Amino acid sequence: MADASLTWLGHASFRLDSPGGKRIYIDPWLENPKCPDAEKEPEHCDVIALTHGHDDHVGATIELSKKFGPLPIVAMVELKAWLKENGAQTDDIPGSNKGGTVEAAGVKFTLTHAFHSGGTPDGSYGGEAAGIVVELENGTKVYFAGDTCVFGDMQLIRKIYAPDVAVLPIGGHFTMDPREAAVACELIGAKRVVPCHYGTFPLLAGTPDELRQLAKGVEVVAVDPGGSVEL
């Protein structure tokens, strides 16, 4: 199997290339101010996974599903229904909910808890916000916390899924800042942490250096938008 990589597209958007050659977009807001031009028009997409319905996370989901679909879309049941009503080209499988695991293109996705508000871009109910544990074909597990504050039950994510890599928001204001993210690192227990949801605009002021100072014993793997982390 090929190496897997996680490419940051700015904000909370990621391209995940699996060892089995699948290309997964997580929260593809490709119009975000930090998304590199070369990433704004994807060449290929096998799966889209969404943490919640806010427009800085749904992003280009509907457009990508029309271009490459019908595509599996992993999202909360209400959010997936909203996407279909709004033209997304996807399968007939209902969206899932927290605690359930679904398989798409040979990769496993589990929605987990998150503390954040919900809603879709047009103000409809889009289900609760979630995190996502992605288990790749080779068993590597990546936990995307989504937008959330730190919460004690992150230790259950460690106990049940033991993620190899955790992707955490650190910008503050709408999500955890570095102080909360440092505690999240302890609770989750992943050896490597990829920060996101910072630097998109001045309001999201947390930095990877602040997290490094606070989260001892954790490798904080910060890349510039367009940069990749080998998994």
Summarize as ranges the residues that interact with Zn ion (CB under 5 A).
56, 147
Distance of closest approach, residue 207 Cβ to Zn ion, in angstroms? 17
| Identity at 184, one-letter amino acid code | A
Q: For 28, how many CA atoms within 13 A lie in the half-sphere containing its CB?
A: 24
With H, G, I as helix, E, B as strand and everything else as coil, classify residue 211. Answer: helix
Distance of closest approach, residue 106 Cβ to Zn ion, in angstroms? 28
**Which is nearest to 231 in space by CA: 130, 136, 96?**
136
Nearer to Zn ion, 56 or 180 (CB): 56
Residues 76, 95: contact at Cβ < 8 Å? yes
What is d(CA 157, CA 146) in angstroms, rounded to the nearest whole number? 13
Nearer to Zn ion, 110 or 148 (CB): 148
Residues 184, 156: contact at Cβ < 8 Å? no
Nearer to Zn ion, 4 or 74 (CB): 74
Q: Are strands 14-17 and 5-8 parallel, antiparallel or unpaired?
A: antiparallel
Nearer to Zn ion, 125 or 201 (CB): 201
Distance of closest approach, residue 119 Cβ to Zn ion, in angstroms? 12
Write out the two tokens for 30: 């490709």
Nearer to Zn ion, 78 or 147 (CB): 147
Distance of closest approach, residue 224 Cβ to Zn ion, in angstroms? 19
What is d(CA 121, CA 141) in angstroms, rounded to the nearest whole number? 30
Residues 3, 9: contact at Cβ < 8 Å? no
Distance of closest approach, residue 148 Cβ to Zn ion, in angstroms? 10
Distance of closest approach, residue 83 Cβ to Zn ion, in angstroms? 17
Nearer to Zn ion, 11 or 22 (CB): 11
